[in-house]
Structure 1
Amino acid sequence: MRNSVLNDIPIRQPPSGRGPGLVLVQEIFGLDDYLRSVAADLAAMGYVVAIPELFWRTAPGWSSTHDEAGVAASSEVAASFDPALGLSDVLATIGHLRSLPSVTGGVGVLGFCLGGSMAFAAAVEGDPDVAVSFYGSRVPEQIDGLSRVDCPIQFHFGGQDPYIPRSDVAAVEAAVAAHPGAEIHVQEDAGHAFHNHVAPMFHHPGAAARAWELTTEFLRRTLPA
C-alpha cells in the first residue's frame, strides 16, 4: 500500500544524468501529458525534475481531459485536496531531491495553477533555492507571506484570468515591488492556464512563449544548470 508521495515518484533526468533539482507541481488535471512535456523541457535544460502526485491520497493516478468536463471533474477531485498535506508532499519532494546523488547544486520548485499556489506556499514555509509560481489562485490571499520568502521567486499571471481578478494580481504586484528578489510578469492579453498547450480553452501561444522565455532566463540566472 502506498504511504508516501515519494513512492514511485516520477523523476526526469537531464541528458548529463546530473544537475540542480526542480520540483514540478501539477495543475488540477493531474500528472498528464502537459506536465510530462514541461518536465521534458526542464530536463533538457539540465535539471533533475521530480513530479509529486498531489492527489495520491484521494484520487491516485488522477488525470483528466482539458475541456469543460475535465475542469468540472478535476475541480471535484481538487475539492477533497488538503493544501496542508499537499504542501508537506512538496516539501518532502524537495528534501528527496536534495538527497539524490544526481542532484548537484540547489533545488527549486515550479508550479502551475494549483501547483502555482503550492510553489508559493513552499517558498513561504520551506527552503527551496528558487520558486516559480504560475497563476496560483491562492497567492493573492496569502501574499503577506512574501515577507517570509528568502529565495528568488517569480510570479506569472494572466491579465484576463476569470479565476483571479486583475485587482488581486495588482495586490501581488504591490507586494513584489517592496520585496527584493521577487519579480512578477503579467500577460495582459491572456487568461488562466495560458501556458497549457494541450488545453485549447486556455492556451494562449503568444503569452505562453513570452512567459516561458522569462521563466527559463530566471532559472538560468538563479539556479544555473
Structure 2
Amino acid sequence: MTTNTQIPTLDDDGQIPVLVIKPEGTPRGAVIVQQEIFGVDAGIQKKAQQWADRGYLAVAPDTFWRQQPGVALDADIPEQFQEAVGYMMKHDFDLGIRDIEAVIHWIRRDADVAKVGLVGFCMGGRVAYMAAARTDIDASVGYYGVMIDQMLGEKHAIAKPLMLHIPTADHFVSPDAQKAMHEGLDDHPKVTLYDYEGLDHGFAAEIGSRRDEAAAQLADERTAAFFAEHLG
C-alpha cells in the first residue's frame, strides 16, 4: 500500500489517493512530490521521506488513480517501462493539474500548512511547470520535465519561483526543445534553469540504473536551498 490518505477532488466527485508523511514537530512547509510515469514507487516514497526528514509535510499523489490506482512500476524492466508510458499517454494533464490544486487546498486547509511547494520528475517536471503557471503554489521544481517547450505560451502566468533541472543529453527532451526552453525562460524573473552536461533523463532517480550520484546530489542540494528560501 503506497498511499495512506484520500483527498477530495475540486469538484468533490472522487478521492485522490496520496501518500502523506509527517515530519517531527510543526512542519516548516509542505512539499508535494509529483511522481514520474512509474507511480508512487519505492523511489518516490524515498523522496517523500527525505522531505519529511527535512521538516516538511510530504505529500505524494497517485497521479494515475483514475486509470489504475496503485501503479508502481520498474523503469529497468522494458515491459513495465512501456506500461508506464501507456499510462502517461492516456493521462489528462489538465485534469491532473486540478488534482494538484485540490492537494494544495487540502494542505492549507486540512493539514494547516500555509506554504506549499512541488517537486516533480519526468512527467512530474511538466506538472511542476504547469503548477507554477496555473496554481498559486509558493514554489515549484521540475527535474527533466517533458514537453515544457510546448507550453511556453503560459510563462506569463508564472508568478511564483520555479526551478528546472535540465540534463543536456535527455533523450526525451531534444536539443531544440532545450534551446527553446532557455530562449523562452532564461530572462523570466521567477524562473531558474540549471543544465547538467552530458546527463540523461532520470539522473536523480532514487532507485534503478538511471541515477548519477554526483549530479543527483547537486540538483537535490539546489532544490533543498530553493525550498528553504521560499517555503521556510
TM-score range (shorter-chain normalised) is over 0.9
From 188, 199, 206, the counterpart of 2:197: 188
The aligned length equals 220
Mean Cα displacement is larger for which, 16-25 or 115-124? Answer: 16-25
Structure 2 residue aligned with 1:163: 172
Judge conservation of contact 1:32–1:63 (CA < 8 Å) in 2: yes
2:109 is equivalent to residue 99 of structure 1: yes
Distance 2:157 2:128 in 1: 14
1:5: Cα distance to partner?
Answer: 4.1
Structure 2 residue aligned with 1:222: 230
Distance 1:16 1:155 in 2: 30
Q: How does 1:76-225 map to 2 (within 5 A)?
A: 76-103=86-113, 105-200=114-209, 202-224=210-232
Give the residue type in structure 2 aligned to 1:163.
F
Judge conservation of contact 2:97–2:130 (CA < 8 Å) in 1: yes
Distance 1:101 1:210 in 2: 31
Judge conservation of contact 1:24–1:52 (CA < 8 Å) in 2: yes
1:128: Cα distance to partner?
Answer: 0.2
Q: Give the direction of change, closer, same or farther, for the CA distance of 1:127–1:206 in structure 2 (3 Å limit).
A: same
Give the residue type in structure 1 aligned to 2:82.
A
Q: Give the direction of change, closer, same or farther, for the CA distance of 1:214–1:186 in structure 2 (3 Å limit).
A: same
Distance 2:27 2:165 in 1: 28
Distance 1:82 1:182 in 2: 25
Gaps of 5+ in 1: none
Cα shift readout 1:127-163 (whole Å, capped 9, x = no counterpart): 1011111111121111231221000110011110011
The 4+ residue runs of structure 1 with deviation greater than 6 A are none
Judge conservation of contact 2:47–2:206 (CA < 8 Å) in 1: no
Judge conservation of contact 1:159–1:189 (CA < 8 Å) in 2: yes
1:93: Cα distance to partner?
Answer: 0.6
1:101: Cα distance to partner?
Answer: 4.2
Structure 1 residue aligned with 2:79: 69
Gaps of 5+ in 2: 1-7
Distance 2:18 2:146 in 1: 25
Distance 2:87 2:135 in 1: 26
SS in structure 2 of the partner of residue 110 of structure 1: strand
Distance 1:84 1:218 in 2: 26
The normalised TM-score by structure 2 is 0.89
The normalised TM-score by structure 1 is 0.92
